[in-house]
Amino acid sequence: MASRILLALLVLLIGWRGGSAAPPAWGRRGMRVPERAGDPNSQVKFDFSPFLIEYRSGRVKRLMGTDVVTASADALTGVTSRDVTVDLATGVAARLYLPSFRATAKVPVLLYFHGGAFVVESAFTPIYHAYLNTLAAKAGVLAVSVNYRLAPEHPLPAAYDDSWAALKWVLANAAPGTDQWLSQYGDLSRLFLAGDSAGGNIAHNLALRAGEEGLDGGARIKGLALLDPYFQGRSPVGADAMDPAYLQSAARTWSFICADKYPIDHPYANPLALPASSWQRLGCSRVLVTVSEQDRLCPWQRAYYTTLRTSGWPGQAELYQTPGEGHVYFLTKLSTPQAQAEMATLVAFINRN
């Protein structure tokens, strides 16, 4: 299981292989998937290995990211977590993480959005539970890890809408007499959004919406941390060895994630398509973008940083690069020097005045 998770994270959250539009169906690494004639439960509609396989009956078989751990008091970090329901109608939930500190302290509030190609993982999987425990402890933040709905059962923009609802829930529940942790310990003048991979994409799109629509009570997002974010488009933005087959596969998987609602060069996937006026309204004062050298998305990630800095947006942007590592390596290599250095950069970004 561990090797499967590591492989999936390094491959990225876009189509490693793409989808199979018609029989014969081919499974992982080109292996033929046995089919029973006339049985839609065994006929592959879309093969998004190593993440999931969707069958013609509508059944979805997830190949990773389905294990969960319960909220708890973590002995290693001293962080306590608990789960809350954000929206009963949609089932959107979140896991809150509270670090150990003096009872009178007010701490930054960090909304975190997990990765997983918009199709796997959750706020409750072991990888994200460990990462958020560590981040909450080191940064001294009250973290809210959002469990948004996944495609293909809930194609985009469901994840965006769910995450927006979670942001509004945080703002509403920081008032006295609402959520005990948020109202007593949360400092909304230090509100941050962060996410890795697909979660970084979500965080960006929420900050953009916040800048355009505003937030309840006049709240403002202080910082936006995009950790190896999922951005891409049809153009390799100047990168000099992009595989056309990879770009085609990425377009197919994006189409699968959003049920053909948006092309791959829609601003949801490719912020470079945004006009300068939208960049200028990005609803935060600081942005951190992290890039892993071996990540195939790094050309778009670097272009995002460059475009933001030259757009006329009045905030401060920072780029952090890790050599020799692949996409979101820090999730599975949390104790390595490289991951610890990246964590230290994120902690410093959050705690900078």
Q: Which two tokens stand for residue 263?
A: 């092309």
Report the helix count and the strand count for the chain, using DSSP H and E: 9, 11
Indicate the DSSP class of residue 134: H
Active site annotation includes 197? yes
Distance CA(297)–CA(294), nearest Å, equals 9
CA neighbor of 173 nearest in space, from 190, 161, 185: 185
327 a catalytic residue: yes
Q: Is 114 a catalytic residue?
A: no
43 Cβ neighbours under 8 A, 6+ residues apart:
23, 25, 35, 55, 56, 57
For residue 153, give Cα distances in angstroms to 16, 213, 217, 287: 20, 28, 34, 32
In b/e form, how buried is each residue of 201-223, taking b as 16+ CB within 10 angstroms?
bbbbbbbbbbbeeebeeebebbb
Q: At what angle do helices 198-213 and 158-172 cross, to 10 degrees?
A: 60
**44-48 sheet: strands from edge to edge:** 44-48, 52-55, 60-62
81, 145, 197, 292: the active-site residue = 197
Which residues are marked as active site? 197, 295, 327
